[in-house]
Amino acid sequence: MDISPLQKARYSYQPKLPAVLRGNVDSIGIELGKPTEAVDDRAELRNIFKLSYGAPIATFVAKPNRGNRRPLVVGVILSGGQAPGGHNVIAGLFDGLKKGNPGSRLVGFSGGPSGLVDDLNVEITAELVEGYRNTGGFDIIGSGRTKIETPEQFEKALRTAKRHGLDAVVVIGGDDSNTNAALLAEFFKSRGEAISVIGAPKTIDGDLKNEYIEASFGFDTATKTYAELVGNIERDANSARKYWHFVKLMGRSASHITLEVALQTRPNVALVSEEIEAKGMTLTQVVDAVCDPIVRRADRGFNFGVVLVPEGLVEFVPEFKTLIAELNDLLAREAAAYAALSDDGARTAFVSGRLAPAARAVYDSLPGDIRRQLIMDRDPHGNVQVSRIETEKLLISMVENRLAAMKAAGTYRGTWSAQNHFFGYEGRCAFPSNFDADYCYSLGFAAFVLIANGLSGYLSSVRNLTAPAAEWVAGGIPLTMMMNLEKRHGEEKPVIRKALVGLDAAPFGVFAAARDEWAVETCYRYPGAIQYFGPDEVCNAVTETLRLESLKK
């Protein structure tokens, strides 16, 4: 195969591990803390997870432990959207297993959780892993968004696990996939099967984090990739001086990606969905907030700028939030009748005719494309596919109308021309930064230790991430500890609570203190491309989000 020089060079990068995971596996011991509680809805969750609820936090410490030597057969799944570093979780898990016992085996299940259900497997060998070390993508075994949900799917997953003699299944996924991992762990326990289920915190969105999970992997690389692109656009805007660029950024519901990219690049406007919701801002008020700097910059002769838009924005604007909640219930309730409709016109009319008056008024006022995008299939976990809603184009057209009205009234004297962009897929499979390469390898290795010690229903965890890797703290966090109940497909379900942007947290505070200046001045910052080789401050810097969040500790 013809591989690029960078790919070749990255094969030989040796990811860094926390000190406790280096050296001999006989000296990696486990310390268990006190029983834990879920973040909310404790009684209900205790009832759903009768056998797994309340497990203690596990921390790895240096002490003798022969348990890491037993031969193991482990299955692994990549689940949900791609995130840079997934291959290194597999490499860390593989190397840990082989270090524990050369006879241990790793079986990959292809195409996500459905691979476990349908037993689509591939043996992960040393040769296979070699070709994927420190590279982006999930193509080693592929990924998918199937949710293991029905009793038949759980039974089939168990049959697959027993057919392969699995000691454990590792689920590399986000909040929804790890919720599924917790249910699978409980199911295996209820059958008296000693098959561990261990998760690894994956998602570029950065919303799978809490006191014990400081970051989800992939966020570092993806935000650095988007920051490079946004910085390049800012420089183009500042050179040509004729366009306002509206950039939608991935991140699903949470605005962590937008906020991190804003901290890195200092655009004129960065919308933060969580703030818009907290202030109860209507779409009209959001448009006002975007027009204000456009008008003020025009008065100073700057008819250009950059606006960052989080992809989940519409879910947070009150009138849209109500509309989406009604749409979700309606589409779940009337699924059969809706499925029988043959074209978009019939679907939008069907939906509009069944909404309550206020939601219908909002729905009917939207451009046809947006109306159609709002009723596209939910993903298997019940989420609206916000990446497919062209919010940046909706905003451009609303801003354009407002500026035209202001021009007619003599309150806007500038010239206006807009460009739209959506950055998402560009960042999900980039070569992992050194941080993500190290972090992911450590998460995979930690998953091995959790399995070797018979723990189940845990998320592999590596903490103290702003310190050098040697000082990272590794262990496992019980999945039930992160859960609460939320409405999905019209029903209350146990889910891992998403971490949205905290308006009282340091990253937002730093942004909020600086943004008025960024709005009217041209303060752009150009981060450039991710570097893999070179000085420490260029190659190993953590995200601003992680750095600022760590200051509170």
Q: Would you please indicate which residues are annotated as catalytic (active-site) residues?
A: 205
In the complex, minimum distance from the CB of residue 381 to ligand FBP, in angstroms, rounded to a whole number: 9
Binding mask 25-64 for ligand FBP (x = CB under 6 A): ----------------------------------------
**Which of 114, 203, 373, 543 is close enough to bind ligand FBP by CB under 6 A?**
203
From residue 6, alpha-carbon distances to 47, 83, 498, 540 in Å are 51, 19, 35, 17
Q: Of 111 and 414, which CB lies nearer to ligand FBP in the complex structure?
A: 111
CB of 385 to ligand FBP, least distance (A): 6
Strands (E), 339-496: 418-423, 458-463, 473-478, 483-488, 491-496
Among 283, 290, 386, 455, binds ligand FBP (CB under 6 A): 386
Q: Nearest CA to 282 among 311, 259, 307, 313?
A: 313
- Cα 333 to Cα 439: distance, rounded to the nearest angstrom: 43
Rounded to whole angstroms, the Cα distance separating 553 from 549 reads 8
Parallel, antiparallel, or unpaired for β 418-423 and 305-310?
unpaired
Q: Does the footprint of ligand FBP cover residue 205 (CB under 6 A)?
A: yes
Q: At 196, give phi and psi (nearest 5°).
A: -70, 150
Dist CA 38 CA 497 (whole Å):
10
Rounded to an integer, what distance in angstroms lies between the CA atom of residue 271 and that of residue 512?
Answer: 11
Nearer to ligand FBP, 379 or 400 (CB): 379
Does 387 bind ligand FBP (CB under 6 A)? Our answer is yes
Given a contact cutoff of 8 angstroms between Cβ atoms, the answer to whether 166 and 410 are in contact is: no
- Residue among 470, 480, 449 at smallest CA distance from 69: 449
- The smaller minimum CB distance to ligand FBP, of residues 311 and 436, is found at 311
Residue of 432, 504, 485 whose CA lies nearest to 48: 485
- Residues 163-202 vs ligand FBP: string with x where CB under 6 A? -----------x----------------------------
Interface residue with ligand FBP among 209, 428, 463, 515 (CB under 6 A) is 428
CB of 130 to ligand FBP, least distance (A): 26
- Quick check: helix, strand or coil at residue 246? strand
Least distance in Å: CB of 226 to ligand FBP? 11
**Secondary structure (3-state) at 143:** strand
Q: Which two tokens stand for residue 209?
A: 């984090």
Residue 18 or 173: which CB sits closer to ligand FBP?
A: 173
- In the complex with ligand FBP, the residue whose CB is nearer, 316 or 416, is 316
Question: Least Å distance between CB 208 and ligand FBP?
Answer: 8
* Position among 15, 18, 75, 80 found at the interface with ligand FBP (CB under 6 A): 80
Select the span of 7-15, 76-84, 104-112, 474-482 touching ligand FBP (CB under 6 A): 76-84
CB of 391 to ligand FBP, least distance (A): 12
Helix, coil or strand: residue 377: coil
Residues in region 228-257 near ligand FBP by CB under 6 A: 250-252
- Give the DSSP H or E segment for 248: strand 244-249
Residues 405-424 contacting ligand FBP, CB under 6 A: 424
Size of residue set near ligand FBP by CB under 6 A: 15
Q: How many residues does the chain have?
A: 553
Report the residue from 89, 117, 204, 479 that binds ligand FBP according to the rule CB under 6 A.
Answer: 204
Question: Which single residue is written with the structure tokens 């990811």?
Answer: 15
**Phi and psi for 371 in degrees, rounded to 5?**
-60, -40
CB of 207 to ligand FBP, least distance (A): 8
| Residue indicated by tokens 């604007």 | 317
Pick 81 or 100: Cβ nearer ligand FBP: 81
Stretch that binds ligand FBP, among 75-83, 391-399, 408-416, 488-496 (CB under 6 A): 75-83
Radius of gyration of the chain from its Cα atoms, rounded to whole angstroms: 24
Instruction: Catalog residues that contact ligand FBP under the rule CB under 6 A.
Output: 80-81, 83, 174, 203-205, 250-252, 311, 386-387, 424, 428
